[in-house]
Structure 1
């Protein structure tokens, strides 16, 4: 008598064509992610580049980083808040308060940067904890709490600056954050490290899933993703390492702006937190269904406080970068269009206003879109009013796409 042994079922090897077909199916089902923002960014760059060839110059390309950096940092923090379906209207002036704290300690009190910056960051943490506590423990809607913060922080900024004075920032380290560049050699070295590190993460993840018998992406897609990032980084660094000084014999200006790797580090850290930690999974769970998350044993109040803490902490970094770029702080620091651009960056990039959907990368992509609009329309001679109108229309379009995609996802069962 013979005994038949059944071998375990093998999962069919994924193909590139099948993967692309599945992706298109998800897009048609409403899961579009950052695709509209990426396509819009490409179209805008082509339009501005054709209308004003100087848009693609090395000088202007480097300027885009310093122009958009503060908004991107604030938007990264707002992504966490928006993931819970909440809003933070105080982030702009909170960034101004933190920047003012740093400037006062540096200029008026004579502190060093390594003491003043931590105090400014701690101020951001305290602001975030206060906002989160009021929202989660007292049950006050985040709109009301942060609107009150918007007004209060504007007043605190005036008090800190004695009614309206301007405080200059002269510390070389702080000024270098938004205004200086890395040496060309270091720029290329960090680029190589970034490409190798990204490739290693992608390949290790692919091998790990394959060993455990889980469904994997086709190797062709993985390699294409690595090659795409490598090509993008190499092209960007090749442009940024060109000489950008009008008179290079007197002063040489070339290399990747220092703020670029700072954005990259924040992106990597917060992407890991959201995608690879229990905390990140809980944020998505609470944003998707707060009551279900509570019944599952998730400390909902703690998560709600945490996202406001992260939001204000990133606002503090944005305030420091803004003070560095302006070489000063004043009563308008963090005001004007800062908050609107930061919220717009997160939403335009693909983060949902309804909660439960979004990535930190959305803030970077959306921030790039806003920086390109502001920069390109400025080169074409448009007024500030025209810029605001166009940016507002883009934000309205992004919110409409989000609402329609959620409706489509619900109709197709992909919600």
Structure 2
């Protein structure tokens, strides 16, 4: 079937080209029109890594990369929730407190009362869901701005955390338990890690091929088979190279695999389900989404609940990483890093645009800055200033890209 018969290329005023050259031209056209995707953060990450590696050759060593990925996983999971809430044009300022509260609740139920760890984890996650439901109720029923309700929640949930921990202020989790081992010493066997990398490439090809097949059945243009195969091969090679490099050190952390699994699940939900399309519609234009028959209140509720649930999961993983639940859990940089990671990774503050991989890319950028400055033995004040500058640049790029999309009719 020739391109002239395709529905989305029937208008001769539309630019179209086939093959690899056409794909490159289409990519450049999207960039010029403001549809940047993850390009800015990838370029920024390359620059950051190049600078720190030139200043300290330990930065890109396998052992340091493993530590960086470990630290990225806990806050990265919290940032996935921020992606959900930003997608509908709202914000949650209490994710740090919710993660700390979940950590404290886990410690109290598991260590102090003797409840099995699995049930304690479920209870901590459910507590996060209840908090999210309360925020959604305030938003939907009373129209309370999410900035205000979650700021109040930050203080209230922090108070609950301090109350649970009592005068001791901390609870040590049992060393040698599966949860603590997950946070500190469990790595994927090398052969299994290579297999997972290959399966990820195969899954990407299958997903892309099915999308192309559906488009062809709908008489729409689709990427050719050799482009899909080439892209899958390149990504598979990159993944296998990353696994090989990490295996030169301690290996691939199992906690990272948990984080990546959550990224893939959220990406599927946002891109392949009716709920994900509704989230983008509500974030893009709430009134238009309502008139299209979308249950806007239900979408907001799901976003608030998911944000709090991811925060609770992040708190559980953080307690596993530190082998303790303390008053400091969830405080300090957690809120800053979780929100900044989502925005730096490419999730729009204006709503309607973003993806799960925003959290992955953004948190790696933040942890790369932190790790590089630590290796250089520089003041933590520089980390705050650099992270703030990167966040400001990300917001400026997002704003300019949004204007460009509007002017090119892509908003």
TM-score range, shorter chain: over 0.9
Contact 1:176 1:258 in 2 (8 A): no
**Post-superposition shift, 1:88?**
0.2
Q: CA deviation at 1:17?
A: 1.3
1:54 aligns with 2:58: yes
Q: Match of 1:214?
A: 220
**Does the 8 A contact of 1:178 with 1:259 survive in 2?**
yes
Where structure 1 has 5 or more consecutive residues not aligned to the other structure, the ranges are: 1-6, 245-253
Query: Does residue 1:262 correspond to 2:258, yes or no?
Result: yes
Take 2:49 and 2:310, find their aligned partners in 1: how far apart are those partners? 28
2-side partners of 1:294 and 1:29: how far apart? 28
Q: Report the Cα offset of residue 109 of structure 1.
A: 1.3
* Structure 2 equivalent of residue 124 of structure 1: 128
Match of 1:188 in 2: 194
Pair 134,164 (structure 1): closer, same or farther in 2 beyond 3 Å: farther
1:203 aligns with 2:209: yes
**CA RMSD of superposed structures (Å):** 1.7
The residue number in structure 2 matching 1:36 is 40
1:248 is matched with which residue?
A: none
How does 1:98-137 map onto structure 2 within 5 Å? 98-137=102-141
* Partner of residue 14, structure 2: none
Confirm or deny: 8 A CA contact 2:98 2:128 kept in the other structure. Answer: yes
Q: 2:180 aligns with which of 165, 175, 179?
A: 175
| Residues 278-287 or 183-192, more deviating | 183-192
Deviation at 1:237, TM superposition (A): 0.8
- Tell me if 1:96 matches 2:100: yes
**Residue 163 (structure 1) shift:** 4.1
Q: Residue 62 of structure 2 contacts residue 245 of structure 2 at CA under 8 Å; is this kept in 1?
A: yes
Query: Which residue of 2 is the match for residue 365 of structure 1?
Result: 361
Give me the whole-angstrom Cα distance separating, in 1, the residues matched to 2:60 and 2:132.
39
- The 3 A distance-change label for structure 1 pair 164 and 355 is farther
Q: Which runs of 5+ in 2 are unaligned?
A: 10-16
Task: Spell out the pairing of 1:298-377 with structure 2 (5 A cutoff).
Answer: 298-377=294-373
Deviation at 1:198, TM superposition (A): 2.2
**How many pairs were matched up?**
399
In 2, distance between residues paired with 1:270 and 1:174?
23
Residue pair 1:323, 1:329 contacting (<8 A) in 2 also: yes
1:226 match: secondary structure: helix
- For residues 140 and 36 of structure 2, what CA distance do their matches in structure 1 show? 31
Contact 2:202 2:232 in 1 (8 A): no
Query: What is the aligned partner in structure 2 of residue 225 from structure 1?
Result: 231
SS at match of 1:137: helix
Is the CA contact 1:137–1:301 (under 8 Å) kept in the aligned structure 2? no
Q: Deviations over 1:140-161 (max 9, x none)?
A: 0000000001111111111011
1:10 and 2:5 are equivalent in the alignment: yes
Deviates more, 1:28-37 or 1:390-399: 28-37
Write out per-residue CA displacement over residues 292-321 of structure 1, whole angstroms, 9 at most, x where no aligned residue. 111111111111111000001100111011
- After the TM superposition, list the runs of 4 or more consecutive aligned residues in structure 1 that deviate by more than 4 angstroms: none
Using the alignment, how far apart are the partners of 1:192 and 1:178 within structure 2?
Answer: 25
Contact 2:267 2:356 in 1 (8 A): yes
TM-score, normalised with respect to structure 1: 0.92
Of 52, 77, 84 in structure 2, the residue corresponding to residue 80 of structure 1 is: 84
Q: Select which of 247, 253, 256 maps to 1:241.
A: 247
Shift of 1:9: 5.4
Distance 1:52 1:221 in 2: 38
Contact kept in structure 2, 1:14 and 1:216, CA below 8 Å:
no
- Residues 1:142 and 2:146 aligned together: yes
CA distance in 2, matches of 1:225, 1:170: 45
